[in-house]
């Protein structure tokens, strides 16, 4: 009997389909928006988001990173989301336990307009856009992801932060029934993260609800997560239920658990090693070769000025 062994380099069909569907949809959206916007995507037969309308988002301008996109399958099956398990494969396996509908976010602290707001009122379809950003994990792997979401700064401004709002704190859902990892004391739950207000207002900072043109999979932090592309991945907190403006620097989960390894700033910095490994290089998921890690993950032009005068070896 003859057994046909496919060559190793052959792409599996599932991987090719995702990407080509994504590219087609992207072109379709670009053209439709150029013709005056206001389109629906029902024709493509894709599942609609329960409440959020993701159909009219603006696609990323032609971007050199388009050629480097990490496969959708890798982005959604190799995850860090300790509330859904500590193995990289766990979050996808346990994803269905997380219930994301309905979802609301509590806005608290130093602002004129605090309150609890439903996700579909927080994220307005006309603000949605796609941006291709690298995400660099502190564990020295990285990905290039077509994220879909809204810029964080203008969203925060809607709640009118006061002059005392020097920082913003973000909190993940705390519900061991939905997030079984919270039954174990791996971290001090709920997961919390924070940014200085000027970092939050920087135009690169984004609240994300989708990737590859679709609703965010649970394992990637549905229905709402932060993406701060010049910082190590752990700053990009998932499944957010609370945003609080504060006068003093908020606690962060990783800093609480190991302050010598994870600082508040956590800017990607090839010159500051993690105590247990080098940060000089990284491996893109799906590639064998290693790449040089870039200062601020390649976004130095847009963000280095935020830290002028600061010693980034001490403020790691």
Ligand X SMILES: Nc1nc2c(c(=O)[nH]1)N[C@H]1C(S)=C(S)[C@@H](COP(=O)(O)O)O[C@H]1N2
Vertex 104, ends 38 and 175: CA angle to 5°? 135
Q: Using the rule CB under 6 A, which residue among 146, 194, 210, 233 binds ligand X?
A: 233
Work out whether 137 is an interface residue with Mo ion (CB under 5 A). Answer: yes
Work out whether 70 is an interface residue with ligand X (CB under 6 A). Answer: no
Sign of CA dihedral 274, 238, 162, 155: positive
Q: Which helix (H) or strand (E) holds 136?
A: strand 129-136
Largest CA distance in the chain: 77
State phi, psi for 21 to the nearest 5 degrees: -65, -45
Work out whether 137 is an interface residue with ligand X (CB under 6 A). Answer: yes
Name the residue nearer to Mo ion (CB basis): 123 or 204.
Answer: 204
Q: Which stretch binds Mo ion (CB under 5 A): 38-46, 123-131, 132-140, 221-229?
A: 132-140
The conformation of residue 89, written as its DSSP 8-state character, comes to: T
Would you mind telling me the total number of residues written for the chain in this entry?
A: 316
Question: Site for ligand X (CB under 6 A): how many residues?
Answer: 17
Work out whether 91 is an interface residue with Mo ion (CB under 5 A). Answer: no
Name the residue nearer to Mo ion (CB basis): 119 or 285.
Answer: 285
**Residue span 239-268 as binding mask against ligand X, x where in contact by CB under 6 A, dash where not:** x-----------------------------
Work out whether 220 is an interface residue with ligand X (CB under 6 A). Answer: yes
Work out whether 189 is an interface residue with ligand X (CB under 6 A). Answer: no
**Which tokens in the block code for residue 251?**
């606690």
CA-CA distances (angstroms) from residue 143 to 4, 51, 61, 70? 33, 28, 19, 6
Q: Using the rule CB under 5 A, which residue among 133, 167, 234, 264 binds Mo ion?
A: 234
State phi, psi for 37 to the nearest 5 degrees: 70, -165
Name the residue nearer to ligand X (CB basis): 55 or 172.
Answer: 172
DSSP output for 94-112: TGGG---SS-EEEEEESBS
Work out whether 80 is an interface residue with ligand X (CB under 6 A). Answer: yes
Pairing state between β 141-151 and 167-172: unpaired
Work out whether 81 is an interface residue with Mo ion (CB under 5 A). Answer: no
Name the residue nearer to Mo ion (CB basis): 73 or 88.
Answer: 88
Residues that bind Mo ion in the complex, under the rule CB under 5 A: 80, 137-138, 233-234
Residues that bind ligand X in the complex, under the rule CB under 6 A: 79-83, 135, 137, 172, 191, 220-221, 233-234, 236-239
């Amino acid at each position: 009997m003859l057994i046909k062994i496919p060559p190793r380099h052959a792409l599996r069909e599932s991987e090719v389909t995702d990407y080509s569907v994504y590219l087609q949809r992207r072109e379709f959206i670009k053209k439709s928006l150029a013709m005056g916007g206001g389109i629906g995507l029902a024709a493509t037969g894709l599942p609609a988001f329960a409440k959020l309308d993701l159909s009219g988002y603006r696609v990323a301008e032609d971007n050199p990173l388009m050629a480097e996109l990490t496969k959708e399958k890798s982005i959604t099956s190799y995850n860090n989301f300790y509330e859904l398990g500590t193995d990289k494969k766990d979050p996808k396996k346990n994803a269905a336990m997380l219930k994301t509908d309905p979802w609301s976010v509590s806005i608290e602290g130093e602002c004129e307009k605090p309150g609890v707001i439903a996700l579909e009122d927080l994220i307005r379809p006309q603000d949605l856009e796609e941006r291709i950003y690298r995400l660099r994990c502190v564990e020295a792997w990285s990905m290039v992801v077509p994220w879909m979401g809204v810029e964080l700064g203008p969203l925060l401004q809607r709640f009118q932060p006061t002059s005392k709002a020097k920082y913003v704190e973000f909190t993940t859902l705390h519900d061991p029934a939905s997030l079984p990892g919270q039954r174990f004391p791996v971290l001090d739950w709920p997961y919390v993260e924070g940014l200085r207000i000027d970092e939050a207002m920087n135009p690169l900072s984004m609240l994300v609800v989708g990737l590859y043109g679709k609703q965010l999979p649970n394992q990637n932090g549905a229905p709402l997560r932060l993406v701060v592309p010049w910082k190590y991945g752990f700053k990009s907190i998932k499944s957010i239920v609370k945003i609080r403006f504060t006068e003093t620097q908020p606690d962060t989960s990783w800093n609480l658990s190991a302050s010598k390894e994870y600082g508040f700033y956590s800017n990607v910095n090839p010159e500051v090693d993690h105590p247990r490994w080098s940060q000089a290089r990284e491996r893109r998921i799906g590639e064998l070769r290693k790449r040089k890690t870039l200062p601020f993950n390649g976004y130095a032009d847009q963000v280095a000025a935020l830290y002028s005068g600061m010693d980034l070896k001490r403020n790691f």
